[in-house]
Amino acid sequence: MSANTGAYTIQFISAAPTVDQLGTIFTYTIAENPQSQGSKGQLIFDLGCAKFSDLTSVLIGDEEAVKNNTKDNAGGCSNQQALVNFVRLPGVAGFVPNDGSAVTVQFVFAALPGLMPANGNVYNSAGANCTPTCLAIPAGCGTSMGCSYSQGFYFSSPVGKAASASKYLLAVPSSSTFTYSQAQAITIFNGRSGGSANLSNMFTQLATIYLSQQLGYLTIDPSSDLAGYVQTLEAFLTAYGKKLDGTKLETNKQLKASYGGVSTAAAVAAANGISAWINDCPNHCGKDPFMPPACGE
């Protein structure tokens, strides 16, 4: 997995155990990006669920570097300011070769065995250039729920359709007697045109989570925001009380303000919440849903 931050290309190499097996070493290589004229600034690595205090040492090549987690205010890097656990590599231009070769950088977490990589962000904080770039970071601390593909994968992608075909008939909501064939679910996905996006999106976002669970990609933490979104949609669609037909979905204007005490606005927000959760960098499945996804997959 690699990332271009503008001036630099960063390659994630591995997350391997320390010699004593009690910790984990995250290894990267950093090289100048010959295709870029971007500023050669400081690199900030989000540490995900690992804490800066868990970071025992930083190795640049064979040399131990000073651990640094001061925040760089240059250029108004507001997104970096929101980080809590991160490590900063100042003066990158001073240790990255200018001949196109790469230098190895290692982050050693001595007391965190089995630390796993997951998608996160690295920042080049030169001037105003603080756009986060997706890269594998130490985010897999055993609390991850897994991942989900998006609704487009399951309802319009040939790969997704094939992967989920065995999971139909699909009950939506899960406690209802309404079951849907794959063809019916795809029709509902396609039925959002003509002003029926809300009902279509509620169904397909919830069905997407069900499919990811049934395929073994996702286990929902009951205390998570995602669990709340699912509960809201299940309650709304249960109270709605009708099996959906993608060829004649009620339009957004035809829907009542609430059903069974759950407002339509809350259900719309829950569907959008599922979409946002899936599209958040660590949560979207990659080509292999049982491995950390490659950025952009």
The pLDDT tens digits for 267-297 are: 999 999 999 998 775 677 766 565 545 444 4
Q: Which residues of the chain have pLDDT under 70?
A: 1, 3, 36-40, 49, 71-84, 112-115, 126-131, 139-144, 281-282, 286-297
DSSP-assigned letters across all residues of 15-81: EEE-TTSSSEEEEEEEEE-TT-------EEEE-TTS-GGGEEEEEETTEEEPP------TT--HHHH
pLDDT at 144: 58
- Residue-wise pLDDT for 158-177, tens only, equals 989 998 999 999 999 998 89
User: What's the CATH code, domain 2-140?
Assistant: 2.60.40
Domain boundaries, the chain: 2-140, 151-283
pLDDT for res 75: 46
The pTM of the whole model exceeds 0.85: no
